Amino acid sequence: MPVTKQICDSLSDKEIISRSIEDVEYFRCIYERYEKKLKRYIFQISNFSEDEAEDILQNVFIKIWKNINGYDETIKFSSFLYRIVHNETISLYRKKQTLEKVKENYSHEVGDENEFELREKPTKSQKILEVLNLLSEKYKEVLVLKFLENMDYEEISDILKIPEGTVATRINRAKKAFARIVKNENIVNELLN
């Protein structure tokens, strides 16, 4: 019997995991249930292109499949998934930053032909993401998980592997840092419009 969307929708994460271990067709349910959410999360914590996000997701779902037998049922399955996506995204982000620094050093030596580019006026969401990108990684990730992914402290704690008290402290400090950047960059009116 083929695994349909109706079948997937009727199953809990725990049931899907159990059935996936016995029949690989059920793994499709995990993909369909989480692909859009995980992709959105990648975009929120990085400035990756569509192709880069797709590459990350492909790697993530391979890792999920390889590690599904080792899933710790004491944490939410979504937290398990977000943790893998988080690690993959941050890893690629760091590699990309290193590569960009190398390219930047090279372009200073040979000159940059694309010095002037026309840019469209950014939307409110783009401005928020720009401000988030100015924050340190530890502050950016807690704000994205809390306010853009609507996760509670326990889920964030599971994803980032830090105590819930640390999550609360980081969120508080991150909100203050975000507000300082908005004030310093004088973009309050732009965000409100």
Q: Does residue 4 lie in a domain region?
A: no
Q: Does residue 46 lie in a domain region?
A: no
Half-sphere exposure of 22 (CA within 13 A, CB side): 5
Spatial separation of the C-alpha atoms in residues 3 and 19, rounded to whole Å: 11
pLDDT, tens digit, 9 for 90 and up, residues 8-61: 999 999 999 999 988 999 999 999 999 999 999 999 988 889 999 999 999 999
pLDDT-above-70 percentage for the chain: 83
80 pLDDT more than 60: yes
Q: Does residue 83 lie in a domain region?
A: no
Q: Please tell me the pTM assigned to this model.
A: 0.70
Mean pLDDT of 68-92: 90
Q: Is the dihedral of CA 17, 19, 25, 28 positive or negative?
A: negative
Q: Does residue 66 lie in a domain region?
A: no
Question: In whole numbers, what is the pLDDT of the chain averaged over residues?
Answer: 84
Predicted local distance difference test score (pLDDT) of residue 181: 87
Q: Does residue 146 lie in a domain region?
A: yes
Domain housing 139: 120-193
Q: Which two tokens stand for residue 27?
A: 């793994």
More confident residue, 30 or 115: 30
190 pLDDT more than 60: no
**173: CATH:** 1.10.10.10
More confident residue, 187 or 81: 81
Residue 121: band (very low, low, confident or very high) from pLDDT cuts 50, 70, 90: low
Q: Does residue 170 lie in a domain region?
A: yes
Q: Does residue 33 lie in a domain region?
A: no
Tally the domains of the chain.
Answer: 1
HEC string of the chain equals: CCCCHHHHHHCCHHHHHHHHHHCHHHHHHHHHHHHHHHHHHHHHHCCCCHHHHHHHHHHHHHHHHHHHHHCCCCCCHHHHHHHHHHHHHHHHHHHHHHHHHHHHHHHHHHCCCCCCCCCCCCCHHHHHHHHHHHCCHHHHHHHHHHHHCCCCHHHHHHHHCCCHHHHHHHHHHHHHHHHHHHHHCCCHHHHHC
Q: Does residue 165 lie in a domain region?
A: yes
